[in-house]
Structure 1
Amino acid sequence: MAARVKICGVTTEGAVQAAAEAGAAYLGFNFFPRSPRYAAPPLARDLALEAPPGIAKVGLVVDAEDAVLDGIVETVPLDILQLHGRESPARVREVRARYGLPVMKVIGVAGPGDLAAIDAHAGVADMILVDAKAPKGAVLPGGNGVAFDWRLIAGRRWPVPWMLAGGLNPENVAEAIRLTGARQVDVSSGVESAPGTKDDALIRAFVTAAGEVRDRRPPADVIDPD
């Protein structure tokens, strides 16, 4: 099977259409106000309603309190919540119980010592997103266009589905999939012409490149919106 692709940080109807036409499996809406990819809930709602059936709508938040999450979930028809901050396993459990939505927990990786956090969260999250740890002093927790050493997770498996992120682009995504065995990949800055501005051609190129790596193993368990 071809790797499933998440296009994260969409802010325009054009980006939604480009992702859908390219064959992306997930659309990511960024609710972190400091990000150049921020989408206010009313905008994200309109964009989510424009997405064709079958694409999972993912809401990215960073250490969001319940009041913030309440407003997002009440406004936007999401399929998955993505926790991209320092949320503990206990907080993941709370969010899953409160909103009844699958939770994707992001774990930043820079070295071997970061892998234990994946194991700790894999028992409570519905999906793990393995991302590059943000550089020191970075304003954003993700979307910084940096990668980590993919050899750290080569051949590893966890009890829940997982997704690879961090510095991926149309030129390197195929190699990243081959090296790690990832069946799902996430991209944001790697398909942009400027911070926050998605490029239709880069989206198509990314999805095509990810789709060219075929895995002969049985399909992995994934989270589907239906």
Structure 2
Amino acid sequence: MKIKICGLKEAKNLRQVSEANPDYMGFIFYPKSKRFVGDEFSKTTLAKIPESILKTAVFVNESQENILKTVQKYDFQAVQLHGNESTEICKQLKLQNLIVIKVFAMDDCFDFETLHPYENHCDYFLFDTKTKHFGGSGKSFDWNLLQQYHLKTPFFLSGGLGIENLEAILKLKHNKLYGLDFNSKLEISPGIKNIQLINKVLDTIKNYEHI
């Protein structure tokens, strides 16, 4: 099970998170987000993150040109597209040897058939809770909906994942469940992660996988 910690922005805090050694770390380049990295975000902020951790840039309805500029500036390995991005943008980004994660907002009316056009242009899907905003709500959707997913693309589960529901999360059974995306439930404040909670989550998952 891969672990992604998303919504980081403060240099000291993200270094602490990197020491916990998650598989992915996410940085939000959407100015309306409470976890926006900010206009002064420095490349040196990311310099000490080990190469083993995949640095992921998160965008919402951003142009392909600006996405690539950001990726090149900060040397990101993965992009997470959290808006209404087209299959063509996903395709072009994938051609740049980027890992492409496409987010879909889930509710009881979600139609999984809409994912078919994205199948060959994304490495992973990410299923998050549908809200008025783009992620970071701290709310979970009905995970029973995942049983309707039968495509080949692996997916991340997101939306209100934390210590309090970790046991239930680890009991989920789906052969395409690739990773867990943690954000607001492991925070002290927006963008500042609670290192103790992160370590507890990672230790719990590791211990569960060794049972």
What's 2:46 paired with? Answer: 48
Structure-1-length-normalised TM-score: 0.83
Matched, 1:104 2:101: yes
TM-aligned CA deviation for residue 9 of structure 1: 0.9
Residue 212 of structure 1 aligns to a residue whose secondary structure is: helix
Ranges in structure 1 where 5+ consecutive residues have no aligned partner: 217-226
Across the aligned residues of Structure 1 and Structure 2, the Cα RMSD in angstroms comes to: 2.3
Residue 88 of structure 1 is matched in structure 2 by 86
Aligned: 1:121 with 2:118:
yes
Return closer, same or farther for 1:96/1:62 CA change in 2, 3 Å cut-off. same
Shift in alpha-carbon separation, 1:149–1:196, aligned structure 2, 3 A: same
Give the secondary-structure state (helix, strand or coil) at the position aligned to 1:33.
coil
Look up the equivalent residue of 2:185 and give its one-letter code.
G
**Which residue of structure 2 lines up, in the alignment, with residue 11 of structure 1?**
9
Percent identity of equivalent pairs:
27
AA in 2 matched with 1:110? D
TM-superposed CA distance for 1:177, in Å, is: 3.0
| Residue 39 (structure 1) shift | 1.1
Instruction: Tell me the residue number matched to 1:205.
Output: 200
Aligned to 1:62: 60
Q: How many residues align?
A: 209
TM-score by length of 2: 0.88
1:130 — aligned with what? 127
Deviation at 1:174?
3.1
- SS of 2:163's partner is coil
How far apart, CA to CA, are the structure 2 residues paired with 1:91 and 1:70?
A: 11
Matched, 1:75 2:79: no
Asked if 2 retains the 8 angstrom alpha-carbon contact of 1:84 and 1:106, the reply is yes
Determine if the alignment matches structure 1 residue 184 to structure 2 residue 182.
no
- 1:220 alignment counterpart: none
1:193 pairs with 2:166: no
The separation in 2 between residues aligned to 1:91 and 1:74, in whole angstroms, is 16
Contact 2:106–2:129 under 8 Å retained in 1: yes
Quote the offset at 1:120 in angstroms: 3.4
How far residue 126 of structure 1 moved from its aligned partner, in angstroms, is 1.1
Structure 2 segments unaligned to the other structure (5+ residues): none
Q: In the TM superposition, what is the alpha-carbon distance from 1:15 to its structure 2 partner?
A: 2.7
Of 154, 159, 172, the residue aligned with 1:161 is: 154
The answer to whether the Cα contact below 8 Å between 1:191 and 1:206 also exists between their aligned partners in 2 is no
Q: Which residue does 2:139 correspond to in 1?
A: 146
Would the aligned equivalents of 2:28 and 2:36 in 1 still touch at CA under 8 Å?
yes
Deviation at 1:41, TM superposition (A): 6.7
